[in-house]
Amino acid sequence: MNDLKKLGEIFAALMEERGYNINEHTPVMNGLGAYYVLNLEGMYPALDEEVKHTISLAYDMAMTTINKNKLH
């Protein structure tokens, strides 16, 4: 997740320059936001793979929580 994290750090710094504070989120979450806001899909294959992996992990974590708490 190195590229995704770095993207998030850059995105947060640039947003801060424009008067927005998004530092309450993790660099990985900021990276995901940047990836989708800037429509980077397909431009950097390694980043695409990191995003897919990160979303898969988040999905698995969410489903574990949902099943644990019987929210379905």
CB neighbourhood size of 9 (10 A): 16
> Is residue 2 within 8 Å of 53, Cβ to Cβ?
no
- The pLDDT score that the predictor gives to residue 39 is 97
pTM exceeds 0.85, yes or no:
no
Residue with tokens 């390694």: 46
- The pLDDT score that the predictor gives to residue 70 is 79
Predicted confidence pLDDT, tens digits, the chain (72 residues): 699 999 999 999 999 999 998 888 999 999 999 999 999 999 999 999 999 999 999 999 999 999 888 765
